[in-house]
Structure 1
Amino acid sequence: MSDEHPEPDGRTRHYGDFYGLSEPAGEGDVTLVIGNCQAESLRIFLDGGGLRTVRTPPIHELVEADLPHLQRWLARTRLLVAQPIRDGYHGMPLGTAELAAVLPGGGRLVRVPVIRFAGLYPAHVIVRPPSDPSLVPPLVEYHDIRTIAEAAGQPLAEDALTPDLVRRVAELSLSELRRREVANDTVVASDLFAAPSFDQMRTLNHPGNPVFAALAARVRERAGVPAFTVDPGRPVLVSVHAPRERAVLDAWSLDGEPTDHWVVGGAPIDSEEVRRAHLAWYAAHPDAVAAALARHADTLRLWRAITG
């Protein structure tokens, strides 16, 4: 192949429809699903039954060179399904309102929430160091509130995690999810966690198939599209599995045994190894600790209140 037409790299081939290497299979209205890693999983559960979806890079990976491809697809899109994204995201017109504004006549927008539910992983939080929001700790990208408190010199009691605390942290996270659903007029997902199970969430923010199946059905209903059930034939978002704690099993009367390790890319990583690696990382990035204490102050108060 000549230099003028270089061989596409693996990423370009992976998103071949988006980059114009191919057309999406199937028939029906073109549908774009825009957002983070949850968006691609939702797309899988929406594809078919009158909707022809386009595999699109996650929003945080898009660069200026991708904009013509995105604009080409938006011009053909009849249904835009998007998480709430602020205007001017990463210095580009990628906000949900900005994308919706260029849909062709008759194009519809359905907003979906970014799903975070802490009721199954009550110690885990997400933090970005103010000095460099792209930085993440080693081994696993999730922070443990107990390790953060230890790094701050404010250790939590070893027996702080109780079933009561699990339920209180769950309600705190659901209250925030409900607030964002109302504020952004999204499809509702918060009620799906009335009786939590590990099938629903692999981590704090990685939903499982039952959540995506229900969310896809609600997107179709809001968009006025006939119901259609998708079975992808595999579990989605399974690259990371968080440990399962005894207090969580007891709080929701779940079967099974607790685990003391993460699973990342199919490989187990001991929780104590993660703790040690994260403490070393916090020593090198103290602003991450300060940011966590501020952002997750309500969660910390719950942890401390339970044990008095």
Structure 2
Amino acid sequence: MTPTPDDARRRHYSAFYSRPAVGAGETVLLALGNCQAESLRLVVPPSAATTVRIPPVHELTDDDLPFLGAWLERADAVVAQPIRDGYRGLPLGTRELLAQTRPGTRHAVLPVIRFAGLYPRHLIIRPPEDPSASPPLVAYHDAAVLAEAAGLRLPALTVDAVRAVAAESIAALRSREERHGSVVASDLFAAPTFALMRTINHPGNPVWAALGERVLSQLGLPGPAADPGGPLLDSVHAPREAVVIEAFDLPEEPTVDWIVDGRSLSAEDVRSAHLAWYAEHPGAVTAGLARHASTLGLLGLAS
């Protein structure tokens, strides 16, 4: 019989689907959310807790709920990103998940980390007609290409604009931390370096090492954070612009290509593919201009 995608998924998350087969004396920690939650899990040392690889929340289905519920009932500690109640029509909100844990289960909230200072023109857009839709080649939108699709023109990036976008991004992250009572990450970007972020929402290992220490401390678990054994969230690297390097006095050289799964993609190829996608998804253009009006203004786009 030919293996199905579901078979592969079951193998990849085999511990999750095996139900809690752990000793009574083991401390079990669950990390719930997206790829950032999984990265946090990978820096939890085995000496501190047993962890379980769980499908990202946007992939969980109704059939997964009994397995998730069983693990939540067994968990001694839970780290969760902020998730709204009834997410995707399922009881996957942070409050809904924590309500399934035993009394006394420790928990920490991990903020959704986005920092745009190193990639100030890159945006994340959720088209209203299909919030899961992404443009081809890379999932990140370029403000200059978005403006072009709308018949507008973004001026050349300046040092002042780079620093302004960085400040706005840190302020937005700080606001999310305060709103959700999360572990603090915003201070890690006071002195931006490319080691901190590979894209606007893929933090590098130094961020995870620091957050691992903070999460373990909040949960009362022993540290230090573990070496994950390789670079985390390493599949996509955005181009590094000369003006960004100048703005933060960084030692690196500029790069012009995207690196996706180890392959180079030219910025021009990405631009062409995205313009074609925008022509088929005009709602994404309208949504992007509205959602990112403040950032676009800092970049010099006239209203």
TM-score range, shorter chain: over 0.9
Match of 2:232 in 1: 236
The one-character-per-residue Cα deviations of 1:62-116 (angstroms, maximum 9, x if unpaired) are: 0000000000100100101000000011111110001111111210121010000
The one-character-per-residue Cα deviations of 1:28-83 (angstroms, maximum 9, x if unpaired) are: 31110000111111100114222111100000000000000000100100101000
Asked if 1:172 corresponds to 2:197, the answer is: no
Secondary structure of the equivalent of 1:33?
strand
Match of 1:31 in 2: 29
Give the whole-Å Cα distance in 2 for the aligned partners of 1:50 and 1:28: 9
Asked if 1:220 corresponds to 2:216, the answer is: yes
Among candidates 67, 82, 85, match of residue 83 of structure 2: 85
Deviation, 1:226, is 2.1
Paired amino acid for 2:222: P
Asked if 1:186 corresponds to 2:182, the answer is: yes
Paired amino acid for 1:222: Q
Secondary structure of the equivalent of 2:108?
strand
Secondary structure of the equivalent of 2:14?
coil
- List 4+ stretches of structure 1 deviating above 3 A: 21-25
Q: How many residues align?
A: 300
Among candidates 233, 243, 249, match of residue 245 of structure 2: 249
Match of 2:146 in 1: 148
Among candidates 268, 283, 286, match of residue 264 of structure 2: 268
Superposition CA RMSD, Å? 2.0
Paired amino acid for 1:209: N
Match of 1:11 in 2: 9
Q: Specify every segment of 5 or more residues in structure 2 that has no aligned partner in the other structure, as ranges.
A: none
Instruction: Indicate if the aligned counterparts of 2:19 and 2:70 stay in contact, CA closer than 8 A.
Output: no
Give the whole-Å Cα distance in 1 for the aligned partners of 2:123 and 2:260: 17
Asked if 1:73 corresponds to 2:58, the answer is: no
- Cα gap change, 1:24 to 1:298, in 2 (>3 Å): farther
Provide TM-score, normalisation by structure 1: 0.93
Asked if 1:20 corresponds to 2:18, the answer is: yes
Deviation, 1:221, is 1.1
Among candidates 103, 109, 119, match of residue 111 of structure 1: 109
Match of 2:42 in 1: 44
Deviation, 1:23, is 4.5
Deviation, 1:304, is 1.2
Instruction: Indicate if the aligned counterparts of 2:258 and 2:265 stay in contact, CA closer than 8 A.
Output: yes
Q: Specify every segment of 5 or more residues in structure 1 that has no aligned partner in the other structure, as ranges.
A: none
Identical amino acids, percent of aligned pairs: 56
Match of 1:129 in 2: 127
Instruction: Indicate if the aligned counterparts of 1:243 and 1:259 stay in contact, CA closer than 8 A.
Output: yes
The one-character-per-residue Cα deviations of 1:215-240 (angstroms, maximum 9, x if unpaired) are: 11100111112222301221010010
Give the whole-Å Cα distance in 1 for the aligned partners of 2:84 and 2:48: 29
Match of 1:96 in 2: 94
- Cα gap change, 1:232 to 1:21, in 2 (>3 Å): same
Deviation, 1:7, is 11
Deviation, 1:11, is 1.3
Provide TM-score, normalisation by structure 2: 0.95
